[in-house]
A and B are shown apart, each in its own frame.
Chain A
Amino acid sequence: MLNQFIGISPKSDLLLLQLLGAKLYKRSFLHINSTRTGGGVAEILQRMIPILQELGIDARWEIIEGDPVFFDITKKIHNSLQGNPEKFAKKMWQYHYEINRKNAEYLNLEADAVIIHDPQPAPLIEFKKAGLWIWRCHIDLSNPHTQVWDYLSRYIAKYDATIFSVAKFARAIPIDKFIITPSIDPISEKNRGLREEEITETLNKFQIPVDRPIILQVSRFDRFKDPVGVIKAFRIVKKYNDCILILAGSPATDDPEGEIVLKEVREYAADDPDIHILLLPPFSDKDINALQRIATVILQKSVREGFGLTVSEAMWKGKPVIGGAVGGIPLQITHGITGFLVNSIEGAAFRVRQLLNDPEMSRRIGENAREHVRKNFLITRQIRDYLSVWYSLQNKGRSILEM
Protein backbone atom coordinates (compact mmCIF):
# COMPACT_ATOMS: atom_id res chain seq x y z
CA MET A 1 0.00 0.00 0.00
CA LEU A 2 2.85 2.33 0.86
CA ASN A 3 4.12 1.81 -2.69
CA GLN A 4 1.07 3.64 -3.98
CA PHE A 5 2.41 6.83 -2.43
CA ILE A 6 5.74 6.71 -4.27
CA GLY A 7 5.81 9.60 -6.71
CA ILE A 8 2.99 11.32 -4.84
CA SER A 9 4.13 11.97 -1.26
CA PRO A 10 7.42 13.77 -0.55
CA LYS A 11 10.31 11.29 -0.64
CA SER A 12 11.51 12.42 2.76
CA ASP A 13 8.15 11.63 4.39
CA LEU A 14 8.25 8.10 3.04
CA LEU A 15 11.85 7.70 4.12
CA LEU A 16 11.28 8.96 7.65
CA LEU A 17 8.19 6.74 7.87
CA GLN A 18 10.36 3.73 7.10
CA LEU A 19 13.08 4.81 9.55
CA LEU A 20 10.51 5.31 12.31
CA GLY A 21 8.84 2.05 11.32
CA ALA A 22 12.17 0.28 11.85
CA LYS A 23 12.64 1.91 15.26
CA LEU A 24 9.12 0.97 16.34
CA TYR A 25 9.09 -2.42 14.62
CA LYS A 26 6.70 -4.96 16.21
CA ARG A 27 5.65 -2.45 18.84
CA SER A 28 1.94 -2.17 19.47
CA PHE A 29 0.00 0.98 18.58
CA LEU A 30 -3.64 1.28 19.59
CA HIS A 31 -6.13 3.90 18.33
CA ILE A 32 -9.50 4.33 20.00
CA ASN A 33 -12.39 6.52 18.86
CA SER A 34 -16.15 6.27 18.99
CA THR A 35 -17.18 5.35 15.44
CA ARG A 36 -15.94 3.16 12.65
CA THR A 37 -17.84 5.00 9.93
CA GLY A 38 -18.60 8.61 9.17
CA GLY A 39 -16.50 11.64 9.94
CA GLY A 40 -12.93 12.56 9.19
CA VAL A 41 -11.37 10.63 12.10
CA ALA A 42 -12.78 7.26 11.03
CA GLU A 43 -11.94 8.03 7.40
CA ILE A 44 -8.28 8.64 8.20
CA LEU A 45 -7.98 5.70 10.63
CA GLN A 46 -9.35 3.34 7.99
CA ARG A 47 -6.53 4.32 5.68
CA MET A 48 -3.84 4.73 8.33
CA ILE A 49 -4.03 1.37 10.13
CA PRO A 50 -3.04 -0.77 7.08
CA ILE A 51 -0.11 1.55 6.34
CA LEU A 52 1.14 1.29 9.94
CA GLN A 53 0.81 -2.50 9.74
CA GLU A 54 2.76 -2.53 6.50
CA LEU A 55 5.54 -0.66 8.30
CA GLY A 56 5.77 -3.57 10.72
CA ILE A 57 3.92 -1.86 13.55
CA ASP A 58 1.32 -3.87 15.39
CA ALA A 59 -1.46 -1.30 14.86
CA ARG A 60 -5.01 -1.82 16.12
CA TRP A 61 -8.14 0.27 16.01
CA GLU A 62 -10.87 -0.13 18.61
CA ILE A 63 -14.08 1.77 19.14
CA ILE A 64 -15.99 2.43 22.31
CA GLU A 65 -19.65 1.63 22.35
CA GLY A 66 -22.35 3.66 23.99
CA ASP A 67 -26.09 4.17 24.04
CA PRO A 68 -27.97 7.23 22.68
CA VAL A 69 -27.80 8.91 26.11
CA PHE A 70 -24.01 8.63 26.07
CA PHE A 71 -23.74 10.08 22.56
CA ASP A 72 -26.12 12.86 23.46
CA ILE A 73 -23.84 13.76 26.36
CA THR A 74 -20.71 13.58 24.22
CA LYS A 75 -22.38 15.73 21.54
CA LYS A 76 -23.01 18.31 24.26
CA ILE A 77 -19.38 18.06 25.39
CA HIS A 78 -18.29 18.52 21.78
CA ASN A 79 -20.50 21.58 21.29
CA SER A 80 -19.41 23.17 24.57
CA LEU A 81 -15.76 22.66 23.75
CA GLN A 82 -16.39 24.52 20.49
CA GLY A 83 -17.79 27.42 22.49
CA ASN A 84 -21.55 26.76 22.32
CA PRO A 85 -23.20 26.98 25.74
CA GLU A 86 -24.78 23.74 26.94
CA LYS A 87 -26.25 22.83 30.31
CA PHE A 88 -24.22 20.26 32.17
CA ALA A 89 -25.11 18.26 35.23
CA LYS A 90 -22.64 16.26 37.29
CA LYS A 91 -24.54 13.04 36.59
CA MET A 92 -23.81 13.50 32.88
CA TRP A 93 -20.12 13.38 33.62
CA GLN A 94 -20.70 10.31 35.79
CA TYR A 95 -22.52 8.63 32.89
CA HIS A 96 -19.68 9.56 30.54
CA TYR A 97 -17.22 7.91 32.93
CA GLU A 98 -19.45 4.89 33.54
CA ILE A 99 -19.79 4.03 29.84
CA ASN A 100 -16.02 4.30 29.46
CA ARG A 101 -15.53 2.04 32.50
CA LYS A 102 -17.79 -0.59 30.91
CA ASN A 103 -15.87 -0.35 27.63
CA ALA A 104 -12.59 -0.73 29.50
CA GLU A 105 -13.77 -4.08 30.83
CA TYR A 106 -13.73 -5.72 27.43
CA LEU A 107 -11.33 -3.56 25.39
CA ASN A 108 -7.75 -4.72 25.22
CA LEU A 109 -6.00 -1.54 26.34
CA GLU A 110 -2.53 -3.01 26.40
CA ALA A 111 -0.22 -1.36 23.89
CA ASP A 112 3.13 0.40 23.73
CA ALA A 113 1.42 3.56 22.52
CA VAL A 114 -2.25 4.47 22.67
CA ILE A 115 -3.96 7.37 20.89
CA ILE A 116 -7.38 8.26 22.21
CA HIS A 117 -9.32 10.37 19.71
CA ASP A 118 -11.59 13.18 20.95
CA PRO A 119 -13.54 13.53 24.21
CA GLN A 120 -15.83 10.48 23.96
CA PRO A 121 -13.22 7.89 25.09
CA ALA A 122 -11.06 10.36 27.10
CA PRO A 123 -11.88 8.77 30.53
CA LEU A 124 -10.26 5.50 29.38
CA ILE A 125 -7.01 6.96 30.73
CA GLU A 126 -8.28 5.92 34.17
CA PHE A 127 -7.83 2.31 33.02
CA LYS A 128 -4.36 2.70 31.55
CA LYS A 129 -2.22 -0.37 32.07
CA ALA A 130 1.09 0.57 30.49
CA GLY A 131 2.59 2.38 27.55
CA LEU A 132 2.41 5.97 26.37
CA TRP A 133 -1.05 7.49 26.24
CA ILE A 134 -1.79 10.42 23.96
CA TRP A 135 -5.05 12.36 23.70
CA ARG A 136 -5.72 13.49 20.13
CA CYS A 137 -8.14 16.40 19.94
CA HIS A 138 -9.66 16.97 16.49
CA ILE A 139 -11.95 19.81 17.51
CA ASP A 140 -11.52 23.56 17.81
CA LEU A 141 -10.67 24.22 21.46
CA SER A 142 -9.75 27.87 21.02
CA ASN A 143 -12.76 29.15 22.92
CA PRO A 144 -14.25 26.34 25.02
CA HIS A 145 -16.96 26.54 27.62
CA THR A 146 -14.67 26.84 30.67
CA GLN A 147 -16.49 24.52 33.07
CA VAL A 148 -16.70 21.72 30.53
CA TRP A 149 -13.04 22.03 29.60
CA ASP A 150 -12.02 22.20 33.27
CA TYR A 151 -13.82 18.93 33.96
CA LEU A 152 -12.52 17.16 30.87
CA SER A 153 -8.98 18.39 31.47
CA ARG A 154 -8.85 16.35 34.71
CA TYR A 155 -8.64 13.33 32.43
CA ILE A 156 -6.41 14.99 29.86
CA ALA A 157 -3.79 16.00 32.43
CA LYS A 158 -3.24 12.28 33.14
CA TYR A 159 -2.11 11.60 29.56
CA ASP A 160 1.55 11.66 28.54
CA ALA A 161 0.85 14.14 25.74
CA THR A 162 -1.86 15.75 23.66
CA ILE A 163 -2.12 16.44 19.96
CA PHE A 164 -4.09 19.39 18.56
CA SER A 165 -4.76 20.22 14.91
CA VAL A 166 -3.81 23.91 15.06
CA ALA A 167 -1.61 25.84 17.52
CA LYS A 168 -4.45 28.15 18.47
CA PHE A 169 -6.61 25.17 19.47
CA ALA A 170 -4.04 24.05 22.06
CA ARG A 171 -4.83 24.62 25.74
CA ALA A 172 -2.33 25.48 28.44
CA ILE A 173 -2.00 22.15 30.24
CA PRO A 174 1.21 20.90 31.85
CA ILE A 175 1.88 18.02 29.44
CA ASP A 176 3.45 17.98 25.97
CA LYS A 177 1.17 19.57 23.38
CA PHE A 178 2.00 18.56 19.82
CA ILE A 179 0.48 20.20 16.76
CA ILE A 180 -0.41 17.89 13.89
CA THR A 181 -2.59 19.19 11.10
CA PRO A 182 -5.13 16.82 9.52
CA SER A 183 -4.56 15.38 6.10
CA ILE A 184 -6.18 14.04 2.95
CA ASP A 185 -5.59 10.71 1.29
CA PRO A 186 -4.48 11.31 -2.31
CA ILE A 187 -5.44 7.80 -3.43
CA SER A 188 -8.91 7.72 -1.89
CA GLU A 189 -12.06 7.92 -4.01
CA LYS A 190 -12.43 11.61 -3.15
CA ASN A 191 -8.95 12.57 -4.30
CA ARG A 192 -7.60 10.04 -6.80
CA GLY A 193 -7.09 11.03 -10.42
CA LEU A 194 -10.22 10.46 -12.53
CA ARG A 195 -10.57 9.29 -16.10
CA GLU A 196 -12.32 11.56 -18.58
CA GLU A 197 -15.35 9.24 -18.77
CA GLU A 198 -15.70 9.22 -14.98
CA ILE A 199 -15.89 13.02 -14.99
CA THR A 200 -18.36 13.02 -17.89
CA GLU A 201 -20.55 10.57 -15.99
CA THR A 202 -20.88 13.04 -13.11
CA LEU A 203 -21.50 15.97 -15.47
CA ASN A 204 -24.27 14.04 -17.19
CA LYS A 205 -25.75 12.88 -13.93
CA PHE A 206 -26.19 16.43 -12.68
CA GLN A 207 -26.68 18.00 -16.14
CA ILE A 208 -23.87 20.47 -15.67
CA PRO A 209 -23.11 22.56 -18.77
CA VAL A 210 -19.43 22.94 -19.57
CA ASP A 211 -19.68 25.85 -21.99
CA ARG A 212 -18.85 28.42 -19.30
CA PRO A 213 -16.50 28.70 -16.33
CA ILE A 214 -17.74 26.91 -13.21
CA ILE A 215 -17.60 28.36 -9.71
CA LEU A 216 -18.00 25.66 -7.04
CA GLN A 217 -18.49 25.39 -3.31
CA VAL A 218 -18.71 21.95 -1.71
CA SER A 219 -20.01 22.04 1.85
CA ARG A 220 -22.91 21.25 4.12
CA PHE A 221 -25.83 23.66 3.97
CA ASP A 222 -24.77 25.36 7.15
CA ARG A 223 -24.76 29.10 7.94
CA PHE A 224 -21.09 28.93 8.95
CA LYS A 225 -20.27 27.98 5.33
CA ASP A 226 -22.20 31.06 4.13
CA PRO A 227 -23.91 29.54 1.04
CA VAL A 228 -26.13 32.63 0.65
CA GLY A 229 -22.97 34.78 0.71
CA VAL A 230 -21.60 32.62 -2.09
CA ILE A 231 -24.70 33.30 -4.22
CA LYS A 232 -24.37 37.03 -3.50
CA ALA A 233 -20.73 36.94 -4.59
CA PHE A 234 -21.71 34.98 -7.72
CA ARG A 235 -24.30 37.64 -8.63
CA ILE A 236 -21.64 40.34 -8.42
CA VAL A 237 -19.34 38.28 -10.65
CA LYS A 238 -22.15 37.64 -13.17
CA LYS A 239 -22.37 41.35 -13.93
CA TYR A 240 -18.93 41.05 -15.50
CA ASN A 241 -18.35 37.40 -16.41
CA ASP A 242 -20.67 34.74 -17.74
CA CYS A 243 -20.30 31.69 -15.53
CA ILE A 244 -22.30 29.16 -13.53
CA LEU A 245 -22.37 28.38 -9.83
CA ILE A 246 -22.57 24.93 -8.24
CA LEU A 247 -23.39 24.59 -4.57
CA ALA A 248 -22.93 20.94 -3.67
CA GLY A 249 -23.48 19.51 -0.24
CA SER A 250 -25.06 16.91 1.92
CA PRO A 251 -28.51 17.60 3.34
CA ALA A 252 -27.14 17.45 6.94
CA THR A 253 -29.91 15.27 8.34
CA ASP A 254 -28.45 15.38 11.86
CA ASP A 255 -28.71 19.15 11.90
CA PRO A 256 -32.25 20.61 12.20
CA GLU A 257 -30.91 23.95 10.96
CA GLY A 258 -29.71 22.30 7.75
CA GLU A 259 -33.20 22.14 6.24
CA ILE A 260 -33.86 25.78 7.07
CA VAL A 261 -30.57 26.89 5.53
CA LEU A 262 -31.19 24.83 2.41
CA LYS A 263 -34.62 26.45 2.05
CA GLU A 264 -33.06 29.90 2.39
CA VAL A 265 -30.47 29.03 -0.23
CA ARG A 266 -33.11 27.79 -2.66
CA GLU A 267 -35.21 30.89 -2.14
CA TYR A 268 -32.24 33.12 -2.63
CA ALA A 269 -31.19 31.29 -5.80
CA ALA A 270 -34.78 31.89 -7.05
CA ASP A 271 -34.74 29.44 -9.97
CA ASP A 272 -31.71 31.07 -11.54
CA PRO A 273 -30.80 28.50 -14.24
CA ASP A 274 -27.12 29.27 -13.75
CA ILE A 275 -27.18 28.24 -10.10
CA HIS A 276 -27.04 24.47 -9.56
CA ILE A 277 -27.87 23.32 -6.04
CA LEU A 278 -26.83 19.68 -5.72
CA LEU A 279 -27.91 17.57 -2.77
CA LEU A 280 -25.37 14.82 -2.61
CA PRO A 281 -26.17 11.63 -0.73
CA PRO A 282 -23.52 10.05 1.54
CA PHE A 283 -20.75 8.22 -0.32
CA SER A 284 -20.69 10.76 -3.17
CA ASP A 285 -16.91 10.97 -3.01
CA LYS A 286 -16.35 10.30 -6.70
CA ASP A 287 -18.89 12.94 -7.73
CA ILE A 288 -17.31 15.52 -5.40
CA ASN A 289 -13.93 14.65 -6.88
CA ALA A 290 -15.29 15.12 -10.43
CA LEU A 291 -16.99 18.42 -9.61
CA GLN A 292 -13.77 19.77 -8.11
CA ARG A 293 -11.86 18.70 -11.20
CA ILE A 294 -14.18 20.48 -13.65
CA ALA A 295 -14.47 23.69 -11.58
CA THR A 296 -12.64 26.81 -12.71
CA VAL A 297 -12.56 28.42 -9.25
CA ILE A 298 -13.47 26.79 -5.94
CA LEU A 299 -14.84 28.68 -2.96
CA GLN A 300 -14.86 27.83 0.73
CA LYS A 301 -16.39 31.04 1.94
CA SER A 302 -16.73 29.93 5.57
CA VAL A 303 -17.32 32.48 8.29
CA ARG A 304 -16.40 29.91 10.94
CA GLU A 305 -14.43 26.74 10.41
CA GLY A 306 -12.57 23.94 12.17
CA PHE A 307 -9.69 23.01 9.94
CA GLY A 308 -11.62 23.09 6.67
CA LEU A 309 -10.01 20.12 4.97
CA THR A 310 -12.24 20.56 1.89
CA VAL A 311 -9.84 23.40 1.03
CA SER A 312 -6.92 20.97 0.77
CA GLU A 313 -9.08 18.54 -1.20
CA ALA A 314 -9.81 21.27 -3.76
CA MET A 315 -6.21 22.50 -3.80
CA TRP A 316 -5.02 18.94 -4.46
CA LYS A 317 -6.91 19.06 -7.77
CA GLY A 318 -4.71 22.01 -8.79
CA LYS A 319 -7.53 24.53 -8.50
CA PRO A 320 -7.35 28.11 -7.24
CA VAL A 321 -9.32 28.24 -3.98
CA ILE A 322 -10.83 31.33 -2.37
CA GLY A 323 -11.37 30.74 1.34
CA GLY A 324 -12.69 32.68 4.29
CA ALA A 325 -9.82 33.75 6.56
CA VAL A 326 -11.06 31.63 9.48
CA GLY A 327 -10.10 28.47 11.41
CA GLY A 328 -7.48 26.35 9.68
CA ILE A 329 -8.05 27.86 6.22
CA PRO A 330 -5.15 30.37 6.48
CA LEU A 331 -2.83 27.43 7.22
CA GLN A 332 -3.74 25.96 3.85
CA ILE A 333 -4.02 29.14 1.80
CA THR A 334 -1.10 31.54 1.66
CA HIS A 335 -2.81 34.63 0.33
CA GLY A 336 -1.88 35.35 -3.26
CA ILE A 337 0.39 32.30 -3.50
CA THR A 338 -1.64 29.12 -2.93
CA GLY A 339 -5.07 30.79 -3.14
CA PHE A 340 -6.87 33.84 -1.82
CA LEU A 341 -8.15 34.62 1.67
CA VAL A 342 -11.21 36.82 1.88
CA ASN A 343 -13.23 38.48 4.62
CA SER A 344 -16.37 39.55 2.76
CA ILE A 345 -18.76 38.74 -0.08
CA GLU A 346 -17.29 41.59 -2.11
CA GLY A 347 -13.78 40.25 -1.50
CA ALA A 348 -14.82 36.80 -2.70
CA ALA A 349 -16.44 38.27 -5.83
CA PHE A 350 -13.37 40.35 -6.61
CA ARG A 351 -11.04 37.35 -6.37
CA VAL A 352 -13.32 35.19 -8.52
CA ARG A 353 -13.30 37.89 -11.20
CA GLN A 354 -9.55 38.22 -10.95
CA LEU A 355 -9.07 34.48 -11.45
CA LEU A 356 -11.60 34.23 -14.29
CA ASN A 357 -9.87 37.04 -16.12
CA ASP A 358 -6.35 35.78 -15.63
CA PRO A 359 -6.10 32.10 -16.55
CA GLU A 360 -2.32 32.24 -16.18
CA MET A 361 -2.69 33.39 -12.57
CA SER A 362 -5.27 30.66 -11.99
CA ARG A 363 -2.92 28.05 -13.35
CA ARG A 364 0.03 29.29 -11.29
CA ILE A 365 -1.96 29.46 -8.04
CA GLY A 366 -3.48 26.04 -8.73
CA GLU A 367 -0.04 24.53 -9.24
CA ASN A 368 1.30 26.13 -6.04
CA ALA A 369 -1.77 24.90 -4.20
CA ARG A 370 -1.30 21.29 -5.24
CA GLU A 371 2.38 21.40 -4.30
CA HIS A 372 1.57 22.98 -0.93
CA VAL A 373 -0.86 20.15 -0.18
CA ARG A 374 1.63 17.56 -1.39
CA LYS A 375 4.23 18.83 1.03
CA ASN A 376 2.00 19.47 4.02
CA PHE A 377 -1.41 17.85 3.99
CA LEU A 378 -1.11 14.26 2.75
CA ILE A 379 -1.87 11.27 4.97
CA THR A 380 1.75 10.04 4.85
CA ARG A 381 2.84 13.24 6.61
CA GLN A 382 0.22 12.72 9.28
CA ILE A 383 1.30 9.11 9.93
CA ARG A 384 4.93 10.30 9.98
CA ASP A 385 3.96 12.85 12.61
CA TYR A 386 2.11 10.34 14.81
CA LEU A 387 5.13 8.06 14.80
CA SER A 388 7.41 11.05 15.43
CA VAL A 389 5.39 12.00 18.50
CA TRP A 390 5.59 8.45 19.81
CA TYR A 391 9.35 8.25 19.17
CA SER A 392 10.00 11.67 20.67
CA LEU A 393 8.05 10.75 23.82
CA GLN A 394 10.37 7.77 24.14
CA ASN A 395 13.25 10.25 23.97
CA LYS A 396 11.70 12.87 26.17
CA GLY A 397 13.67 16.04 26.81
CA ARG A 398 15.53 15.94 23.50
CA SER A 399 14.63 18.53 20.89
CA ILE A 400 16.96 17.11 18.22
CA LEU A 401 16.80 13.44 17.33
CA GLU A 402 19.33 11.93 14.94
CA MET A 403 17.98 8.86 13.20
Chain B
Amino acid sequence: MTSATIVAALTIVALSGTATVLTGSPSRQAVALGGFGIVLTVLFVVLQAPDVALSQLAVGTAVVPLMVLLAIRKARNIR
Protein backbone atom coordinates (compact mmCIF):
# COMPACT_ATOMS: atom_id res chain seq x y z
CA MET B 1 0.00 0.00 0.00
CA THR B 2 1.20 3.50 -0.77
CA SER B 3 1.97 5.83 2.11
CA ALA B 4 -0.76 8.20 0.82
CA THR B 5 -3.37 5.46 1.46
CA ILE B 6 -1.97 4.85 4.95
CA VAL B 7 -2.01 8.58 5.79
CA ALA B 8 -5.61 8.84 4.51
CA ALA B 9 -6.70 5.83 6.59
CA LEU B 10 -4.95 7.17 9.71
CA THR B 11 -6.60 10.59 9.22
CA ILE B 12 -10.08 9.05 8.97
CA VAL B 13 -9.36 6.98 12.10
CA ALA B 14 -8.31 10.13 14.01
CA LEU B 15 -11.40 12.08 12.85
CA SER B 16 -13.80 9.21 13.53
CA GLY B 17 -12.27 8.53 16.96
CA THR B 18 -12.59 12.19 17.92
CA ALA B 19 -16.19 12.21 16.70
CA THR B 20 -16.94 9.14 18.84
CA VAL B 21 -15.46 10.78 21.95
CA LEU B 22 -17.35 14.04 21.31
CA THR B 23 -20.72 12.29 20.83
CA GLY B 24 -22.81 13.22 23.83
CA SER B 25 -25.63 10.73 24.27
CA PRO B 26 -24.44 7.19 25.16
CA SER B 27 -26.80 5.43 22.74
CA ARG B 28 -25.67 7.61 19.82
CA GLN B 29 -22.11 7.00 21.00
CA ALA B 30 -22.62 3.23 20.67
CA VAL B 31 -23.54 3.72 17.01
CA ALA B 32 -20.58 6.08 16.49
CA LEU B 33 -18.37 3.41 18.08
CA GLY B 34 -19.61 0.91 15.50
CA GLY B 35 -18.70 3.34 12.71
CA PHE B 36 -15.29 3.91 14.29
CA GLY B 37 -14.86 0.10 14.32
CA ILE B 38 -15.45 -0.07 10.56
CA VAL B 39 -12.91 2.72 9.96
CA LEU B 40 -10.35 0.87 12.11
CA THR B 41 -11.06 -2.27 10.06
CA VAL B 42 -10.22 -0.34 6.89
CA LEU B 43 -6.95 0.85 8.48
CA PHE B 44 -5.97 -2.74 9.35
CA VAL B 45 -6.71 -3.88 5.80
CA VAL B 46 -4.61 -1.00 4.43
CA LEU B 47 -1.77 -2.07 6.74
CA GLN B 48 -2.15 -5.63 5.36
CA ALA B 49 -3.34 -7.23 8.60
CA PRO B 50 -6.51 -9.08 7.49
CA ASP B 51 -6.61 -11.29 10.60
CA VAL B 52 -6.72 -8.29 12.92
CA ALA B 53 -9.21 -6.58 10.58
CA LEU B 54 -11.58 -9.56 10.90
CA SER B 55 -11.33 -9.53 14.71
CA GLN B 56 -11.93 -5.78 14.78
CA LEU B 57 -14.92 -6.05 12.45
CA ALA B 58 -16.55 -8.83 14.47
CA VAL B 59 -15.88 -7.48 17.96
CA GLY B 60 -15.70 -3.70 17.43
CA THR B 61 -18.66 -3.18 15.14
CA ALA B 62 -21.06 -5.86 16.37
CA VAL B 63 -20.51 -7.25 19.86
CA VAL B 64 -19.29 -4.16 21.75
CA PRO B 65 -21.95 -1.68 20.46
CA LEU B 66 -24.65 -4.32 21.14
CA MET B 67 -23.42 -4.79 24.72
CA VAL B 68 -23.30 -1.01 25.26
CA LEU B 69 -26.85 -0.57 23.90
CA LEU B 70 -28.21 -3.40 26.07
CA ALA B 71 -26.50 -1.92 29.15
CA ILE B 72 -28.05 1.50 28.38
CA ARG B 73 -31.49 -0.08 27.97
CA LYS B 74 -31.16 -1.82 31.34
CA ALA B 75 -29.95 1.38 33.03
CA ARG B 76 -32.98 3.29 31.65
CA ASN B 77 -35.34 0.59 32.95
CA ILE B 78 -33.92 0.92 36.46
CA ARG B 79 -34.21 4.71 36.50
Q: Say if A and B assemble together.
A: no
A-binding residues in B (CB < 8 A): none
